[in-house]
Amino acid sequence: MIKKFLDLGYQPLANKYLKSYKKLSIKKKELYRLTVGFNTKTKLVSLFNKIPDKIMFDNNYPYKSSMSKTMTDSFKKLSVKIKKKFNPKLFLEIGSNDGALIKNFDKNKVICVEPCSNLAKITRGKGYFTYNNYWDLNLSNKIKSKFNTVDTIYSANTLTHINDLNKVFESISNLLTQDGILIIEDPSFLECIKKLSYDQFYNEHIYIFSALSVKKLIHEFDLELFDIEKLDTHGGSLRYFIKRINNNKIKIKKTVSKQISTELKFGLANFMTYKKFGISVKKSKNDLIKIFKKIKNKNKKIIGYGATAKACTVLNYCNIGNETIDYFVDTTPDKSNRFIPGKNIKIKRYKKTLLDNVDYIYLGAWNFKNEIFKKEKQFIKKNGKFITHVPRPKII
C-alpha cells in the first residue's frame, strides 16, 4: 500500500526551460500535481503522478553532468576505482549523459545507453559506441545479441527516473555475466530527510532510493548488495555495489548491514517518519518565504545561482517568482536565455559581472555549495550573502 506523505502542489515539468515566459495551465496538462508516497511493503518512496519518459527525456535535454567540477572529479575517482577493483572487460553505462564518466574509460571497452539524442550525439562524437535508446528489455536483448554479456554495468541518477523498476532490473540481469557487477548511485532518502531537501522531488525523480528499498527491489532478480559507499554528491547519495546472490567469490561488506541498520534506527521503515518529514517541509516553505519577504522589503537585489531541476520545485511550491528573484545565473549553454518553468525568472549564461551589485544569491545548486563558494570568494568578500533552504532556510 502506498501512503501519501507530501504534497508539493501543482508543478511544471522540471528541465523544460521555456523560451519565453508563459503562464502554464492545469487544464492543458502543463502542470501536474506533485505528490509523494511511501510503499509500506517495499519501503520505496515514489511519485503518484508519473510523466511518460518520452516527454521528459527527449532530443533536447538540457542537463549536462560535465557542468560541475565536483561531478567530473567524482566520476574520475570512480573510474580509477572500477578499473582497479573490477577490471571490466566490457563496461556499460545506462544514462551516459554527455560522457562525464565514460571519458575516463577505453573507447573499445564501453557501451553507452542514452535516450536523449542531443546527449547521445556528444558521446558518439567522442568515439564511444552509444545506443540512443531507453533502457528496457528490447535494448538489453539487442545488446546481448551483439556483445553476448557485459561484466560491469553502471548507472548514476538514472534508474530512479524510470517508471518500471522491475523491468529495469530484469533487463540488467538479462545481460550481466554470472560474476558481473552492477553499480548504481542515486540521492539517498535518509539524507533527503535529514537535510529537508524536498526539492529532490520533481517529475524526473519518480523514485528516491534507500538501502532498504534497493535491497528488497533487487532480491527478486537474485541480486544482492555487497557494498555501499556514502557520497557527498547531489546532496548526499549512496553508491550501491550489487552482485548475483549465487556469486560467492565476492564477500558482503559490513557497510551494507551498517547502512540498513542506520536507516532502520532512523525510522525509514515506518510511515510516521515520512509523515513528520511532510510536516517539516511545510514549515521549511513558510520560513523560506519569510526570509525572501524580509530581504525584499529592504529593497535588496536577489538573484539565483544554478537553475536546477530542484529549484523548479522550490520556487513553484513556495510561489517565488521574478517579483523576488531578478534572474538566475547558470553555466549550462542550453539553459541560457530561457525561463524557469512556471516562474517568470530569466536564466542568464554565467559570467562574474552578473554578480555585481547583487546583495543576495539564492543557491539553486545548494548541492554544489563548496564549489560555488570557492568560485565566488569576491562576492563573499564584498559582503554578499547566500540564501539556502537546506538543511533549514537561512542566510549564509
Give me the residues that bind ligand JHZ (CB under 6 A), please: 63, 67-68, 157, 204, 234, 306-310, 330-332, 335, 350, 365, 367-368, 371-372, 375
Phi-psi label, residue 326: left if phi above 0, alpha if psi -120 to 50, beta otherwise: alpha
In this structure, which amino acid lies at residue 115? P
State the minimum distance, in angstroms, from the CB of residue 199 to ligand JHZ.
Answer: 8
State the minimum distance, in angstroms, from the CB of residue 155 to ligand JHZ.
Answer: 11
Report residue 67 as a C-alpha cell. 557542468
8 Å CB contact between 304 and 288: no
State the minimum distance, in angstroms, from the CB of residue 244 to ligand JHZ.
Answer: 27
Closest CA to 57 of 13, 1, 18, 99: 13
Pure H helices in 99-179: 117-125, 137-147, 165-175
The C-alpha angle with vertex 237 and arms to 236 and 241, in degrees rounded to 5, equals 155
Strands ordered across the beta sheet of 45-47: 2-12, 31-39, 45-47, 207-208
State the minimum distance, in angstroms, from the CB of residue 272 to ligand JHZ.
Answer: 28
Biggest alpha carbon–alpha carbon distance for the chain: 65
**Nearer to ligand JHZ among residue 244 and residue 389 (C-beta):** 389
**Nearer to ligand JHZ among residue 83 and residue 121 (C-beta):** 121
State the minimum distance, in angstroms, from the CB of residue 28 to ligand JHZ.
Answer: 24
**Nearer to ligand JHZ among residue 126 and residue 375 (C-beta):** 375
CA dist 207 → 76, 112, 158 (Å): 26, 23, 10
State the minimum distance, in angstroms, from the CB of residue 161 to ligand JHZ.
Answer: 6
**Nearer to ligand JHZ among residue 179 and residue 371 (C-beta):** 371
d(CA 50, CA 278): 20
**Nearer to ligand JHZ among residue 287 and residue 334 (C-beta):** 334
**Nearer to ligand JHZ among residue 260 and residue 309 (C-beta):** 309
Closest CA to 169 of 226, 224, 241, 221: 221
Phi, psi of 239 (to 5 degrees): -105, 115
State the minimum distance, in angstroms, from the CB of residue 87 to ligand JHZ.
Answer: 27
**Nearer to ligand JHZ among residue 19 and residue 249 (C-beta):** 19
